[in-house]
Amino acid sequence: MVAITVIGSLNYDLVTYTSVVPRGGETIHAKSFETHYGGKGLNEAVAVGKLLSPEQKNNIQVKMIGRVGNDLFGKEMKDYVSSVGVDVENVLVDDAERSGTAVILVEDSGENRILVIPGSNGKLEVTEKILKEVIGSNKNQFFILQNEQPDPVKHLELIRKIEPEATVVYNPSPIKDFNTENTDVLGAVDVLVVNESEALDCAKAFSTEAREGNIGEERSKFVKLAKDLKGFLNQSKLSTVIITLGGEGSLVVSDAFPEGQHFPAMELSKKQIIDTTGAGDTFLGAVTVRLANGDSIDQAVVFATAAASLTVQGKGAAEAIPGYEQVSKLVSS
């Protein structure tokens, strides 16, 4: 039995759709308002749950570690995550803090701006006791982490201490101050997934060019950057850096692709792109699902690219994430 555990945030999304966002001091009429389930941790857990194949559902257990408030938002989010097959026993209820929320503005172009109120997410603490209970006697472990939690570095180190053979997939988003200490902790990471701006922020820890803003946007520059980042990762297993490039696809540097391999995005018209909010989280979850299945990194990225392309064609974050059958059909078409 393989286990995939997501450690991270659950946010109740308050989404406004508008033609353009207002300037300072300006009031405009928006088009519509909706509520959705979100938070990077919740999105990733839902992506993993939805994207398991029928065969994987018998062989892969999905769990989430998180924290919600003792309120309606928290109950709804736990119930939703559970409904897609994710074990939420360790999504704890906080009586002192409200559930995390996110205020999201989505423009006609599909671009979004997000304000996050951490709430109970800010009190998330993963203890050695919790991790040992989650892992149990199962040595075939995958962990997904991001930075919507108080101390991801501590959690990364704790995972390595308790289960050195676990496969760790990490997205340092939202990016925090990245320094030499952070690059040291990348030694606990097997697969690093970053977008272009996050990659540049990571590079500031070791690159004078990046610190001075002179690294440029050419793909060759990002290949070098990914190769440099790969050198900080755990070298005993996958040791893979994936830089997502939005509408341009993604760039992978791994042992299989030491000089970098570009994977194009699915072609979509502007009218097809409705909301990009959950695309990155879907991609991350999809990559992990396929790696846990034993797929090669290129197979995993192709599947994840298709999953993300379907996500951006729907409203909301978690609810827009497609199921395995939809993605599999698109990949094979």
Position 212 pLDDT exceeds 80: no
pTM for the complete prediction?
Answer: 0.91
Tell me the residue type at 186. Answer: L
Q: Quick one: what percent of the chain has pLDDT higher than 70?
A: 94
Rounded average pLDDT over 308-320? 92
pLDDT at 220: 76
Position 214 pLDDT exceeds 60: no
Q: What is the pLDDT of residues 51-108, one digit of tens each?
A: 999 999 999 999 999 999 999 999 999 999 999 999 999 999 999 999 999 898 989 8
pLDDT at 181: 61
- Number of independent structural domains in the chain: 1
Rounded average pLDDT over 162-172? 95
Q: What is the pLDDT of residues 130-147, one digit of tens each?
A: 999 999 888 899 999 999
pLDDT at 3: 97
What is the spatial distance between Cα 276 and Cα 50, in angstroms, rounded to a whole number?
A: 18
Helix (H) or strand (E) holding 159: helix 152-162
Binding residues are: 11-13, 39-43, 148, 195, 244-249, 275, 277, 280-281, 311, 314, 316
- Reported for 258-266, long-range contacts at CB under 8 A and 24+ positions apart, including other chains, are 258/227, 259/223, 260/222, 260/223, 260/226, 260/227, 261/298, 262/219, 263/298, 263/301, 263/302, 263/305, 264/305, 265/305, 265/309, 266/305, 266/306, 266/309, 266/330
What lies within 8 Å, CB to CB, of 17 at 6+ separation is 30, 31, 32, 33, 34, 106
Residue 281 designated active-site: yes
* Options 177, 201, 281, 295, the catalytic residue: 281
Which domain, by its residues, includes 316? 2-332
Nearest partner of 309 among 295, 323, 327, judged by Cα? 327
Position 207 pLDDT exceeds 90: no
Pull the structure tokens for residue 6. Answer: 């997501």
Binding residues for K(+) are: 275, 277, 311, 314, 316
Position 113 pLDDT exceeds 80: yes
Nearest partner of 261 among 296, 217, 212, 235, judged by Cα? 296
Q: Quote the distance between the C-alpha of residue 201 and its chain's center.
A: 17
Look up the CATH number of the domain holding residue 161: 3.40.1190.20
Rounded average pLDDT over 110-117? 85
